[in-house]
A and B are shown apart, each in its own frame.
Chain A
Amino acid sequence: EIVLTQSPGTLSLSPGERASLSCRASQTISSNYFAWYQQKPGQSPRLLIYAGSTRATGVPDRFSGSGSATDFTLTISRLEPEDFAVYYCHQYSDSPRNSFGQGTKVEI
């Protein structure tokens, strides 16, 4: 079973700043099977990035995904007020088994 570990647990930033969120896998995975989600309170998760670096439809270009092997990063170039949320990494390289990271909260 592939375990995903996200860091930091909480990121305290201001609007306009850059955010870098990390996700480390317990074994090498293909970036083609790696995604990032955003979740706001009371809402279902929303897909931001799939296949490691491809933005989902409607996702602003301030969001970007990168990485390979065991280390992956979600970067938000300039935080907007609506970006303050919890972010989860997700792997499906071990398909059909999937797993999620424990989340990083981006707060003001």
Chain B
Amino acid sequence: EVQLLQSRAEVKKPGATVKISCKASGYSFSAYYIHWVRQAHGNGLEWMGLVDPEDGQAVYAEKFQGRVTISADMSAETADMELSGLKSEDAAVYYCAILAGHDFDYWGKGTLVTVSS
């Protein structure tokens, strides 16, 4: 069974950095990109970027360039997303997902990030 297990909820102060992890299991980790998508409360889905686990290459949405770092560890079969310079608008549920463009489509349960002073 394919699973994407995400790390726990985080509470951060404005200006801080948050790092969320996503542990994959049940499939060949190197075979599919891991995407990160966020959803602010009551809002829509926002694609942040992806990483190719095979070579560690990441691609980011323009909006997050310079503030986000997505990485993958093949040995641990884990992908991480780090977002710096947190603002109140960054409060959201962050999902890791496999968006393979066909039936192989899986999402983690999401990690809630709260930004509060």
Contacts and interface: CB of A to CB of B under 8 A. Distances in A.
Nearest to B93: A44
Interface residues on B, range: 20 to 34
A56 B47 contact: no
Contact of B61 (A56, A90, A92, A97): A97
Contacts, number: 57
B33 A103 contact: no
A44 B35 CA distance: 14
Interface in A13-71: 33, 35, 37, 39, 44-45, 47, 50-51, 54, 56-57
Interface string B43-59: 11111001000000001
Nearest to B101: A92
Most A Cβ at <10 Å: residue of B35, B47, B59, B101: B101
Contacts of A37: 45
B105 A47 contact: yes
Contacts of A99: 47, 61
Interface of B: 33, 35, 37, 43-47, 50, 59, 61-62, 95, 97, 99, 101-103, 105, 107-110
